[in-house]
Amino acid sequence: MKSLLVTGGTGSFGKAFVRRVLREHDPERIVVYSRDELKQYEMASDFADARLRFFIGDVRDRDRLKRAMSGVDTVIHAAAMKHVPIAEYNPMECIKTNVLGAMNVIECAIDSGVERIVALSTDKAAMPINLYGATKLVSDKLFIAAHPYAGHSHARFSVVRYGNVMGSRGSVIPFFLKQRERGVIPITDRRMTRFWITLEQGVDFVLMAARTMHGGELFVPKIPSMRIVDLVEAIAPGCKTEEIGIRPGEKLHELMIPADDARHTLEFDDHYVICPELEFWNRDNYHDGRPVADRFEYASDKNSRWLTVERMRETLGDMGVTVGGPRPAGP
């Protein structure tokens, strides 16, 4: 990975990924491709590294995207419209970015001679019930099918799917931190569970996928789950909770590997690989993987790994987030 392009490079993941690659992998250049000039200006000021190139552009703009990929050997596709309620009310905008944008990334990567393309997905793409998840499922299918579609090109395409990222923009954690000052934390349903991963763990996993990918597979990390009530206790002990009901398009528990994908799934020590149902795929690519049990599901409520209140506090503390300590029980 000497010359990389990161779509959505000014987002939470993009900045963490770029910082890690600059520090540990000595790239010749990294192209940050995004559409927000202020975020690019702030990122350029913060990083101040001559190896960075900033391209204003949208994944919807195929010509601009192709120009940005000139001379690039690796693409990390992190750009997406991902806010669930906003996607529900603006469906065509979500489709243009998440589906048509994915197709543009694929076409431009093939035409530009890019060798490795890793697309970031979400747990909401597994048996989706909201538009955001549905568009990411389509995007996943496009990238998986892009491997044979590339023909004699050297391009390899793979997908990484993981859960909620601690502290990222749009995460419930910053919301809870703000609400605890009122002494009342609104939660959707006390039974709710979620997968959790830190930004740095997400970066680690994407780098692993880029390093080991054969093309066409979907990587899923083994990460812990947490009950929403335990998350509240970790962040805002002593606060009251107010149950407000599940929002439109929201699940009670998240799913990353549906039972119908079990017959194609291989297990490793710290992750799973969902193999493609395509003729080109050679299962011997991962001869050291173990087939999972028939009808196996990887869901947040059936997980064998759980985050405790204490462990969540330690993790957030390592991220510089102040948690713990009693808070007022009410206004």
Show the beta-strand stretches assigned E in the chain.
3-7, 29-34, 52-56, 74-77, 116-120, 156-160, 164-165, 184-187, 193-197, 218-221, 225-227, 240-243, 255-257, 265-267, 271-274, 290-291, 298-299
What is the DSSP track for 272-300? Answer: EEE---STT--GGGGTT-EEPPTT--EET
Q: Evaluate the CA torsion angle 93, 99, 105, 108 in order and state its sign.
A: negative
Show the beta-strand stretches assigned E in 63-214.
74-77, 116-120, 156-160, 164-165, 184-187, 193-197
Amino acid 109 reads: A
Q: How many helices (H) and strands (E) does the chain have?
A: 11, 17
How many angstroms separate the CA atoms of 94 and 122, rounded? Answer: 15
Residue 167: half-sphere exposure toward Cβ, Cα within 13 Å: 20
How many angstroms separate the CA atoms of 27 and 324, rounded? Answer: 40
Amino acid 321 reads: V
Structure tokens belonging to residue 216: 């066409």
Catalytic positions: 124
- List Cβ neighbours of 151 (8 Å cut-off, separation of 6 or more): none
Q: Which residues pair with 151 in a beta bridge?
A: none
Beta carbons of 192 and 227 less than 8 angstroms apart: yes
End-to-end Cα spacing for the chain: 53
- List Cβ neighbours of 96 (8 Å cut-off, separation of 6 or more): 60
